[in-house]
Amino acid sequence: MKKELAKNYDPQGIENRLYSKWEEKKYFHAEVDETKKPFTIVIPPPNITGQLHMGHALDNTMQDILIRYKRMEGYNALWQPGTDHASIATEVKVINELKKQGITKADLGRDGFLEKCWDWRKEYGGRIVKQLKKLGSSCDWDRERFTMDEGCNKAVTEVFVKMHEKGYIYKGKRMVNWCPVCKTSISDAEVEYKEQASHFWHIKYPLIEDDGSVSTTKFLEFATTRPETMLGDTAVAVNPEDPRYKDYIGKNVMLPIINRPIPVVGDEHADMEFGTGVVKITPGHDPNDFEVGKRHNLEVINVLNDDATINEKGGKFQGMDRYEARKLIVEELDSMGLLVSIEDMTHNVGTHDRCGETVEPMVKDQWFVKMDELIKPAVKAIEDGEIQLIPKSMEKTYFNWTNNIKDWCISRQLWWGHRIPAWYCDECGEIVVAKEAPTVCPKCGCQHLTHDPDTLDTWFSSALWPFETLGWPEITEDLKYFYPTDVLVTGYDIIFFWVIRMIFSGFEQMGEKPFKTVLFHGLVRDSQGRKMSKSLGNGIDPLEIIDQYGADALRLTLITGNAPGNDMRFYIERVENSRNFANKVWNASRFIMMNMGEDEESAINKPAPAGLEPVDHWILSKLNNTIKEITENMDKFEMGIAVQKVYDFIWEEFCDWYIEMVKPRLYNSDNKVSRDAAMWTLQTVLIDSLKLLHPFMPFITEEIFCTMQDEEESIMISSWPVYKDEWNFADDEKSIETIKEAVRGIRNVRTQMNVAPSRKAKVFVVSDNDEMLDIFRTGKLFFESLAYANESVCQKDKEGIADDAVSVVLPGCNIYIPFAELVDIKAEIERLNKEKGKLEGELKRSKAMLSNEKFLSKAPEAKINEEKEKQAKYQQQYDQIVERLEQLNK
């Protein structure tokens, strides 16, 4: 029975059905198969707190395009999925839910709170997975992993213990970024710098004279943006080369309010060219000052509690919020005559990217990863090209970070996450790092050991993602076959969080790179170029777009014009264009299927019939070149360029030209050979076009493919089209392109003359080149149809062609159309005379108005200018009509 597509394309009616089919058939699943070459992508695991946003949609569309392409190319393609436990984000969500019930984290205790977190994960953790399926993501869901599942826990513990034994992980007091709201340390990569209005407070500290008295005339002046940190100052610094202050080095100044003498040290950190050349040194609350403190053996004083209130080291300000204390300190300095001035300024302030709170640099006892040796293989891999970054410009960002690498703070003061495998002896304080809880202290024999309460940075576990998801630390068959992975697709904004950490972790744990290529994409911005955010209210929900336009339309919109590393703007108009393209493909396919005979089988695997005409050769040759170019683009990860070529070929060459060219043959039942050749070509080109389009628009291509033929059960497991030497018809391509150029020229002339398509005209092709004339004779049937010609005549000279014929000039030939056949001269003269009369009336009215002194003196200038513009326009139209009438009357 002949199958047909529905009259209208309805994505909602097919997408869920097709995705269920793909899952049931296990098309996404990959097993070790030594007869095939593997191709592996690991998904950047979305947070279990997450909901699909445009960044996710772009990232996963790009991965799905690559995995579908490689699957069709015959690779054993694995797209490894999973989700991330997202320590801070999940804790915040769960704490907020508890608040609604009047419960605190402390009320539940650690075990009770973790139970609530696991409940959260059960309820919401799969939400984003369902949303990724709506997008069409062909992940191997049978292999789905979670960063806190049993296997990942084992991997994390293995790495921590192993790296501690090698001396790469240590505990120590160092400067960290502290979030006073989340009450945890965060890494440098999690600090987001935001512009804030603030002040420079210019303050002076009095010099202490040699006799121990506090000078009333000698001061060292400096400027600070954080006056409250003066409570922890342990020095002021000047540059040792600065002639203004050389004599001050080694002396002391009095720290006001606290009344503590602090030294003046000579250090290059003090910039002679900036401000006064003097800086206050607070080793407990500034990373640069911390380094100065180490060089000069200065005391480190922390004056803040974990919630950013002043602690007991802050004297009378103890218990105050940092900003409240700041205000009172400034007032007191002013009353003491030590506040020189206040200068308004704007500067970038570090904030926590999760909660937005201003971060406090603080010295804390934390766990760190020593980075100086670990980072070396990660640097060399990029330098040697072992790992390719696309675009290459990302290398500069990469090296800028690796060249200024700091030890990585990996401990977090949270409960949800991988607990640090370290225990402390209650008697002697010995730290025991082990895979299992120790029962006795190896140093003193005490049997009472306390488990470290901290958890690991979320990125510590996700740094292991490419190999822990394949079974590591066990050396599984999956690991040996699918590792290293091939491509990592990710946003440029997490190069530090994740990409670099995976690279050095891969080399350290596996002795090999984790992936061969990193493909960076930009951000999806709104139509005004702004970053999408809750605060701006400019976010667009991908699921709403899918519900309205279909997943294919969203995917096509996101990838069209996409270039690696570049941000893109999102316009609804572009989604509508993508939907229109889907309709175009659907309608063209439906047209072809409606013209297939009742018993006619698909041409999918049938050899080319006899009777292929030059126009058939032309479209096959164009398709052939398109296949070659798109394959090259895909192999270079130029997906935006590739999809544009597919789009242009299907819309313009296939739908707008070839289908129109062969319609007369389809309707001509007298020449079965020609009709069969046209039908075979239509089906063949459509099938290969659908295959080229499938990675980008999987749903519509699957529905058409499976409706059109029965030989293959799914397009996603069909073969990717390949270039065929036998489809190289360069001469026929050149011939048909000549006819296309002639048709375009004729249509342009007719448009300029306002000739309706329904008005047919005789067309003369004049050339002294026999080959050129043969082109038009051979293509006579479709040339006449496309050129709105009732007859076409090929001849070597202008004999018999009227002098008033309009012409189209092409290389090697001229096209002539008798003017009288394009235009009914009598009717046109009558129409133009009527138009001329109207314009004469308008010109008379306009001239009268512009010569009226009353109007000119009272009317607004804009109104006068508007009338002048009208008059100029009317005059131009009038002159053109007069000229046209003269031509017609001849």
Q: Binding site membership for ATP: which residues?
A: 534
Q: Rounded CA gap, 772 and 815, in Å? A: 12
Q: Please report, for residues 202, 324, 345, 346, the alpha-carbon distance to residue 341 in angstroms, rounded to integers and kept in the order given.
A: 5, 19, 13, 16
> What are the backbone angles phi and psi of residue 786, rounded to the nearest 5°?
-75, -25
Q: Rounded CA gap, 188 and 353, in Å? A: 11
Torsion angle, alpha carbons of 330, 334, 338, 343, to 10: 60
Asked if residue 15 lies in contact with residue 551, where contact means CB atoms within 8 angstroms, the answer is yes
- CB count, 10 Å around CB of 243? 8
Asked if residue 289 lies in contact with residue 281, where contact means CB atoms within 8 angstroms, the answer is yes
Helix (H, G, I), strand (E, B) or coil at 305: coil
Q: Rounded CA gap, 610 and 600, in Å? A: 17
Q: Which of 399, 362, 619, 622 is nearest to 503 (CA)?
A: 399
Helix (H, G, I), strand (E, B) or coil at 242: coil
Asked if residue 789 lies in contact with residue 763, where contact means CB atoms within 8 angstroms, the answer is yes
Cβ within 8 Å of residue 428, ≥6 positions away = 441, 443, 444, 446
In sequence order, the β-bridge partners of residue 432 are: 423
Q: Rounded CA gap, 323 and 30, in Å? A: 57
In sequence order, the β-bridge partners of residue 153 are: none
Q: How many helices (H) and strands (E) in the chain?
A: 29, 29
Q: Rounded CA gap, 138 and 551, in Å? A: 13
- Taken as a whole, the chain contains a residue count of 890
- Give the helix, strand, coil percentages of the chain, each rounded to 5: 45, 20, 35
Asked if residue 424 lies in contact with residue 388, where contact means CB atoms within 8 angstroms, the answer is no
Q: Which of 86, 82, 87, 92 is nearest to 50 (CA)?
A: 86
Helix (H, G, I), strand (E, B) or coil at 412: strand
Task: Give the residue numbers of the binding site.
Answer: 534
3-state secondary structure 454-493: CEECHHHHHCCHHHHCCCCCCCCHHHHHHCCEEEEEEEHH
> What are the backbone angles phi and psi of residue 463, rounded to the nearest 5°?
-65, -20
Going by the DSSP 8-state scheme, the letter that residue 806 receives in this structure is E
Q: Rounded CA gap, 817 and 340, in Å? A: 89
Q: Rounded CA gap, 367 and 159, in Å? A: 14
Locate the DSSP E strands across 637-767. Answer: 761-766
Torsion angle, alpha carbons of 505, 510, 512, 517, to 10: -60
Q: At CA 220, angle to CA 219 and CA 226, rounded to 5?
A: 125
Residue type, 91: E
Q: Rounded CA gap, 402 and 512, in Å? A: 19
Helix (H, G, I), strand (E, B) or coil at 404: coil
β 524-525/568-569 pair status: parallel
